[in-house]
């Protein structure tokens, strides 16, 4: 799946994968044909159950206030939390390594969403190390932010899937790939490109509350 946020925001397209299905081939595709940072996304409510916070908050707390939390031209606060590796990886950066880390992050998120918060926290702090090569993004919800993180998580929920996603910006030499070129790339993958406004419209029609973003719901 490919998602374009909007012309008035970043005006970028992200390649999006459903985290439970990510393989080394998926990571290679994002690295080769997208080229942007490969990030794992979960809802903020799920991350909070694991004790996760936004990285700009952490940095301000330890004295990096002057450089933490500045907002870039597109206008939204950053969603970054910790960067992690699963303890089972070799170096962490290889395609198979990042795929493993992503799938294990999804497993932890699924425990939280299934109401097994204690098991999820135990697994997270036992099986991951930080810093690592997979940045965790905490989605703020479409009511607060309409970036690729929030759009992709909302789309997963609308499709009846758990909100556990991998995103990477689609780049070209020197900048973002145009929407037209990204549409052609989507066709190569047998996929589609969907506009952010379409996702927001579907979300609003669904009442802004598809199943799954609160711990204890499947």
Q: Per the residue annotation, which of 14, 104, 106, 150 is the catalytic one?
A: 14
Give catalytic status of residue 85 as yes or no.
yes
Q: Which of these is catalytic: 7, 57, 74, 119?
A: 74
Spatial CB neighbours of 9, under 8 Å, sequence gap ≥ 6 = 74, 75, 76, 146, 147, 196
- The burial class, CB within 10 Å (0-12 / 13-18 / 19+), for 209 is exposed
Active-site residue 76, yes or no?
Answer: no
Does the annotation count 79 as an active-site position? no
Catalytic residue among 5, 12, 18, 39: 39
- Indicate which residue of 85, 86, 95, 97 is catalytic: 85
Provide CB contacts within 8 A for 166, sequence distance 6+.
16, 17, 18, 19, 22, 26, 30, 38, 39, 40, 41, 102
Q: What is the C-alpha to C-alpha distance for residues 75 and 10, in angstroms, rounded to an integer?
A: 9
Catalytic site residue 74?
yes
Residues 6+ apart with CB under 8 A from 76: 9, 145, 147
Query: One of 97, 106, 157, 169 is an active-site residue; which one?
Result: 169
14 is catalytic: yes
Could you tell me which residues are beta bridge partners of residue 200?
A: none
Which of 11, 127, 133, 183 is catalytic? The answer is 133
Is 133 designated active site? yes
List active site positions. Answer: 14, 39, 74, 85, 133, 169
């Amino acid at each position: 799946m490919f998602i374009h946020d909007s012309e008035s925001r970043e005006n970028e397209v992200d390649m999006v994968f459903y985290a439970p299905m990510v393989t080394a081939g998926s990571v290679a595709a994002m690295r080769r044909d997208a080229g942007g940072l490969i990030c794992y996304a979960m809802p903020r409510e799920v991350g909070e159950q694991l004790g996760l916070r936004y990285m700009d908050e952490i940095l301000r707390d330890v004295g990096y206030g002057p450089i933490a939390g500045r907002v870039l031209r597109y206008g939204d606060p950053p969603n970054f939390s910790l960067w992690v590796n699963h303890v089972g990886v070799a170096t962490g950066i290889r395609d198979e390594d990042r795929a493993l880390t992503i799938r294990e992050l999804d497993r932890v998120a699924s425990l939280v969403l299934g109401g097994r918060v204690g098991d999820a926290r135990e697994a997270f702090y036992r099986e991951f190390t930080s810093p690592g090569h997979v940045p965790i993004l905490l989605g703020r919800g479409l009511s607060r932010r309409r970036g690729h993180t929030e759009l992709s998580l909302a789309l997963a929920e609308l499709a009846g899937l758990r909100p556990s996603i991998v995103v990477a910006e689609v780049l070209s030499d020197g900048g973002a790939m145009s929407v037209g070129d990204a549409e052609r790339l989507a066709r190569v993958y047998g996929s589609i490109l969907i506009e952010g406004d379409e996702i927001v419209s579907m979300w609003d029609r669904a009442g802004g509350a598809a199943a799954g973003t609160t711990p204890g719901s499947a």
